[in-house]
Copies of this chain bind each other. A is one copy, B any other.
Amino acid sequence: MIQFQCDYNEGAHPAIMQRLIESNMEQTVGYGEDHYCAEARQAIIDAIKCPEASVHFLVGGTQANTTVIASLLRPYQGVICADTGHINVHETGAIEHTGHKVLALPNRYGLISAQQIEQTILDHINEDGPEHMVQPGMVYLSFPTEIGTIYTKQQLADIYATCQRHHIPLFIDGARLGYGLASPACDITIADLPHLCDVFYIGGTKVGALFGEAVVFTNSHYDVRNFRYHIKQQGGMLAKGRLLGLQFLTLFSNNLYFEISQHAVAQAMRIREAFAKRGIEFLVDSPTNQQFPILTDKQIEVLSRQFLFSIWTRIDTHRTAVRFCTSWGTCVEAVDQLVAAIENL
Which residues in A have some Cβ–Cβ distance to B below 8 Å?
Answer: 2-3, 5-6, 8-12, 14, 17, 20-21, 23-31, 59-63, 66-67, 70-71, 74-76, 78, 89-94, 96-102, 128-129, 131-135, 205-206, 210-211, 223, 226, 228-240, 243, 310-311, 329
Contact = CB atoms under 8 A, between A and B. Distances in A.
Contacts of A134: 92-93, 96
A311 B127 CA distance: 10
A99 B97 CA distance: 4
Given A97-B99, A100-B93, A329 B25 contact: yes
B232 A62 contact: yes
Given A17-B20, A23-B11, A205-B240, A133 B89 contact: yes
Given A3-B27, A210-B243, A237 B93 contact: no
A2 to B, nearest CB: 8
A132 B92 contact: yes
Contacts of A311: 128
29 contacts: A8-B30, A9-B29, A11-B24, A21-B21, A31-B129, A60-B237, A63-B235, A63-B236, A71-B75, A75-B97, A75-B98, A75-B233, A76-B93, A76-B229, A90-B132, A91-B235, A92-B232, A93-B100, A93-B134, A96-B134, A97-B98, A97-B233, A97-B234, A128-B310, A131-B231, A132-B237, A206-B239, A234-B235, A235-B236
Contacts of A99: 93, 96-99
Given A8-B240, A11-B240, A102-B101, A229 B60 contact: no
Given A30-B8, A237-B60, A240-B210, A91 B132 contact: yes
Contacts of A25: 10-11, 329
A10 B24 contact: yes
Contacts of A66: 235
Contacts of A27: 2-3, 9-10
* A-B pairs, 6 with minimum CB distance: A63-B235, A76-B229, A11-B24, A9-B27, A93-B101, A131-B228
A232 B100 contact: no
A226 B93 contact: no
A25 B131 CA distance: 27
Contacts of A11: 20, 23-26, 240, 243
B62 A59 contact: no
Contacts of A17: 20-21, 24
B235 A211 contact: no
